[in-house]
């Protein structure tokens, strides 16, 4: 059920120098699957503006949702949300079903950069909760080593036989296992061209990755995406 509601900030913590992990209270009956989004009303000088955020939490855990949000300098939403304190309240609408797993009978490849990992964290929990038995490959790209998100958690998930996880750093300050943009991981680890591909990040990355996958032989109809800058 999509509903407008007041949500209390239960907890907030830093994930990286520019990304925070927010935990917001939800209403009774709030139900969602991996990939769903919520809208938050952001106060501004003239009127409220709305911003959409992917839910990043485990859908089986009720009473709250988690959001993974990157700070954008000068952005009204960033300035508002990053100054919230525990106990503060915001106006939300949701959940909305916009981005979701289309076919659970196929292998899945998640490709993201930065905070684009948010919907995939939730989708991953959803799939594991259902004992999904196909292969899941997760590829994440970041600029610097200290920007990597949910690394310990994903490494723990990597102990599951059908889940594989890799990270690349485009501007490393030291020695890293994979160096370069997200395309480096695609060339190195994407072997199943019949899998379904899910992309999340900025438009430039989405366009470049789509082009690369199609060149490799992936059917464009099996490439699904969510842009963070639209």
CATH code 2.40.30.10 for 3-96: yes
- What are the extents of the domains in the chain? 3-96, 108-227
* pLDDT at residue 229, as a whole number: 77
Residues in Cβ contact with 78 at an 8 Å cutoff, skipping those fewer than 6 apart: 69, 70, 71, 72
* pLDDT at residue 230, as a whole number: 60
> Is residue 43 packed enough to be buried (19+ CB in 10 Å), middle (13-18) or exposed (0-12)?
exposed
Two structure tokens written together for 111: 């490709």
* Residue labelled with tokens 């072997």: 191
Residue 63 and residue 26 in contact, taking contact as beta carbons nearer than 8 Å:
yes
Q: Which CATH number among 3.40.50.80, 2.40.50.1070, 3.30.70.20, 1.10.3720.10 corresponds to the domain 108-227?
A: 3.40.50.80
**What is the secondary structure of 113-130 as a DSSP string?**
EGGGGHHHHHHHHHHHHT
Q: How would you write the pLDDT of the chain (230 residues) with one tens digit per residue?
A: 889 999 999 999 999 999 999 999 999 999 999 999 999 999 987 788 999 999 999 999 999 999 999 999 888 899 999 999 999 999 999 999 999 999 999 999 999 999 999 999 999 999 999 999 999 999 999 999 999 999 999 999 999 889 999 999 999 999 999 999 999 999 999 999 999 999 999 999 999 999 999 999 999 999 999 998 76
Closest CA to 163 of 196, 128, 205: 128
Hey, do 3-96 and 108-227 end up sharing a CATH topology, with the first three levels equal? no
Tell me whether the omega of the peptide bond preceding residue 95 falls within 30 degrees of 0, making it cis.
yes
């Amino acid at each position: 059920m999509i509903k407008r509601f007041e949500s209390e900030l239960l907890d907030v913590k830093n994930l990286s120098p520019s990304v925070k992990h927010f935990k917001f209270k939800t209403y009774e009956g709030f139900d969602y699957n991996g990939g769903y989004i919520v809208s938050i009303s952001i106060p501004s000088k003239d009127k409220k503006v709305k911003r959409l955020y992917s839910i990043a939490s485990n859908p089986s855990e009720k009473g709250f949702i988690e959001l993974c949000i990157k700070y954008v300098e000068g952005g009204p939403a960033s300035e508002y949300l990053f100054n919230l304190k525990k106990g503060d309240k915001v106006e939300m609408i949701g959940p909305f079903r916009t981005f979701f797993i289309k076919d659970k009978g196929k292998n899945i490849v998640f490709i993201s950069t930065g905070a684009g990992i948010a919907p995939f964290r939730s989708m991953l929990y959803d799939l594991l909760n259902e004992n999904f038995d196909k292969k899941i490959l997760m590829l994440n790209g970041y600029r610097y080593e200290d920007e990597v998100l949910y690394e310990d958690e994903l490494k723990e998930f990597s102990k599951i036989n059908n889940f594989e996880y890799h990270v690349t750093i485009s501007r490393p300050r030291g020695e890293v296992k994979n160096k370069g943009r997200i395309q480096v991981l695609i060339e190195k680890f994407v072997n199943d061209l019949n899998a379904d591909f899910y992309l999340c990040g900025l438009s430039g990355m989405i366009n470049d990755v789509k082009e690369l996958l199609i060149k490799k032989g992936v059917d464009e109809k099996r490439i699904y995406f969510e842009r963070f800058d639209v």
